[in-house]
Amino acid sequence: MTRDRDTASAWTGALLALPFLLFLCGVVAWPLAHLAGRAVTQGEALREVLAAGRYRTALVNSLALSSAAAAASVLLSVGPAWILARERFRGRDLLRTAISLPLTFSGVLVGFLMVVLLGRIGAIPKVIGALTGREMFSGAAYTVGGLFLAYLYFEVPRAVMTLEAAFRRFPRELDSAARTLGAGALQRLVRIGLPIAAPALRSTLAVTFSASMGSFGVALILSRRFTVAPLEIYTEMTGFLNDDVAGALCLALALITLAVDRLLSLGSRR
Amino acid sequence: MLRKISITLSLSVLAAALALAQGKVVIQYDCIPNYANWGGVTALYKKVSGVTVPPDSKGSSVAMAALEKERNDPQADTVYYSGAIGFQAAAQGLHEPYKPKGWEKIPAGLKDPNGLWWTVHTSAIAFIVNTRALDGAPVPRSWQDLLKPVYKGKIAYDDPTWGGTSYTLVYGLNTLLGGNEKNFKPGLDYLKKLDANVSSYPRESIYNAVLRGEVPIWINADGNGYKMKHVDGGPVEVVIPAEGTFTMPLVMALVKGAPHGEEAKKYLDWLLTSPAQAEFARSYFRPVLPGALPPDIARHFLPEKDYRRARSLDLARMAAAADALKKAWTEQIRGSGR
């Protein structure tokens, strides 16, 4: 009897998961298998992508920029996420909404925002110019620093949202106990919060890293010379009709991202 | 990138779906509303025929790439390019021969004898200068002027792998400086020096950025500059450089296997009528039909003596050099990518 019920519920589960499995096959497994197949049959393109030059530079740049953006956004988010999750204060919901707002903007929009703020006639250089008599950071939007700031713009909210959810599941009684024993907010965060939150920190790193690796619109608007992999894929496909190199770049980008995510999740199991 | 493509795809599908819901539709690749007044032209066509031609933000090269990808399952009916890219796409067998009404009035040399492409209007490469954004620097008058340190960070021209206008610029400049379709060195040497003054190599329309003063000098089609000045009232001056410049035919073609072929032909016929040609002229692109330029538009152009410095380019040679020159530009001008 029980066994029958178990089998039945297993079948129901499988049936419920079916749309998602089909979706995964259609948009993840099939294209990746296609790319991998091409890379094997036409290894030339993959070798070209991995050899020293523009394509490898793009992959290395993507890796470096995304790692930096992920690390910085997690660092910047720990405090705000902790406060949002643990403290009660007026306007908390409003603050949370405001923080999540940048997530709704597309990369191209964020790129334009950076131009408005830090372009040649950007608002920030103008304000600094009015205050100090010397315009600073004019055109900074088009530098690597500008690109990094733009990435933070949409990665910090992502990190805050992910971390806040994790911090909220944090066992309250431990916190109360520590508070009773006289630990301050900072001490509680460092001694109790962070160790418990380590898996959440790692998964937040993975989420922000992956999102940065795939980001395209920001670099499309801001990049002058510094290039990232998605931008090279676009140029190869649209400017040169070079499907093989574009495909090999896609594959390399996907594999690097998967490998880093895997590393981070291995760490959390230990 | 996938995100961008899927956004573009879903937007165009949405636009097409909306259009379908409202009636007949012709899909045109490269139909940028504020380029050559396609916005006005397609709105007028909707008014006279009821047919919707949705906007499409692909540049020439991207449009050709899309047609190539969809060769076995064409989605577009008509396509618009800068001349050399259209020539190249025709050579790749992406077009259906068609000679629209008014064909005989198009000057020879501005159309393919078999009807694989034909010019709808022409433009010339010029400096579009936002005079209020120059911070006291004089308006540049020549290609040599552009190299002066006073223009540091003030110049932009589109990435030639993105748009045909900029490919015309890069190819033309190379021929002007003594290069040819085999030898790109003179042009690329100049562009390397110019790089010190260039703020960006955009892959999207920076029309508004120029108007706002974010980009003071844009090397682009003259018509875009006249439009900024006379339609949008910007502090803009158009300069035909002293050493010379190049004319650029902008061409249409019927896509091979166009899903709405019959509607597309009617639309292509209409683009060569006087009302359509005059509507293009409102964006200061010169109508290809003689006498179609309205006098109130004509008087805003620089005098004829300036345009005597504009030479036409051989589209066949220009198309043949396209891939190699774009690659050389990407490697040597956009640089290592670091």
Q: What is the pLDDT of residue B278?
A: 92
Q: In this structure, are residues B212 and B206 in contact, taking their beta carbons and an 8 Å threshold?
A: no
CB pairs under 8 A between A and B: 89
**A215: nearest CA in chain B?**
B1
Distance CA A68, CA A149 (A): 11
Q: What is the pLDDT of residue B11?
A: 58
Q: What is the pLDDT of residue A44?
A: 85
Nearest to A153 by CA among A103, A214, A88: A103
C-alpha distances (whole Å) from B61 to each of A46, B79, B322 are 24, 11, 10
Pairing of strands B118-130, B286-287: antiparallel
Tokens 């340190």 belong to residue: B149
- CA triplet B299, B302, B304: central angle to 5 degrees? 90
For residue B301, pLDDT over 90 is answered with yes
For residue A189, pLDDT over 80 is answered with no
For residue B186, pLDDT over 80 is answered with yes
What residues have CB less than 8 Å from A244, skipping those under 6 apart?
A38, A42, A44, A45
Q: What is the pLDDT of residue B12?
A: 61
> Rounded mean pLDDT of chain B?
91
Q: How confident is the model at residue B18 (pLDDT cuts 50, 70, 90)?
A: low
**B212: nearest CA in chain A?**
A121
Contacts B331 to A, Cβ<8 Å: 54
C-alpha distances (whole Å) from A261 to each of A64, A159, A265, B126 are 15, 15, 6, 49
Distance CA B280, CA B288 (A): 10
Q: Do A107 and B3 touch (CB under 8 A)?
A: yes
Mean pLDDT on B22-27: 85
- CA triplet A207, A213, A218: central angle to 5 degrees? 110
Q: What is the pLDDT of residue A224?
A: 86
How far is the alpha carbon of B35 from chain A, nearest alpha carbon, in Å? Answer: 19
- The pLDDT tens digits of the residues spanning A190-204 come to 888 778 888 889 999
For residue A77, pLDDT over 80 is answered with yes
Contacts A138 to B, Cβ<8 Å: 153
Number of Cβ within a 10 Å radius of residue B131: 15
Pairing of strands B286-287, B95-96: unpaired
Nearest to A228 by CA among A270, A256, A268: A256
pTM of the model: 0.83
Of the ranges A40-44, B82-86, B104-108, B131-135, the best mean pLDDT one? B131-135
Q: What is the pLDDT of residue A269?
A: 55
Lowest mean pLDDT among A24-33, A36-45, A249-258, B246-255: A36-45
Q: Give the nearest partner residue to A240 out of B1, B201, B327, using CB atoms.
A: B327
> Rounded mean pLDDT of chain A?
88
Share of chain B above pLDDT 90, in %: 75
Distance CA B291, CA A126 (A): 48
Number of Cβ within a 10 Å radius of residue B152: 13
Sign of CA dihedral B109, B114, B116, B119: positive
Q: What is the pLDDT of residue A187?
A: 86
Share of chain B above pLDDT 70, in %: 93
Q: HEC string of B212-268? A: HCCCCEEEEEHHHHHHHHHCCCCCEEEECCCCCEEEEEEEEEEECCCCCHHHHHHHH
**H-assigned helices in B23-148:** 38-49, 60-69, 83-91
Burial (Cβ within 10 Å: 0-12, 13-18, ≥19) of residue B309: middle
**H-assigned helices in chain B:** 2-22, 38-49, 60-69, 83-91, 164-176, 185-195, 207-212, 222-230, 261-271, 274-281, 295-298, 304-307, 315-329
Q: What is the pLDDT of residue A53?
A: 87
| DSSP at B115 | S
Tokens of A237: 């496909």
Lowest mean pLDDT among A2-6, A26-30, B158-162, B222-226: A2-6
Q: Give the nearest partner residue to B3 out of A115, A139, A214, using CB atoms.
A: A214
3-state secondary structure of B29: strand
Sign of CA dihedral B120, B123, B129, B131: negative
**A230: nearest CA in chain B?**
B1
For residue B4, pLDDT over 90 is answered with no
Q: Do A240 and B62 touch (CB under 8 A)?
A: no
Amino acid at B139: V
Q: Do A120 and B61 touch (CB under 8 A)?
A: no
Of the ranges A179-183, B108-112, B325-329, the best mean pLDDT one? B325-329
Radius of gyration of chain B (CA): 19
Q: Do A224 and B1 touch (CB under 8 A)?
A: no
Share of chain A above pLDDT 90, in %: 46
More confident residue, A184 or A209: A209
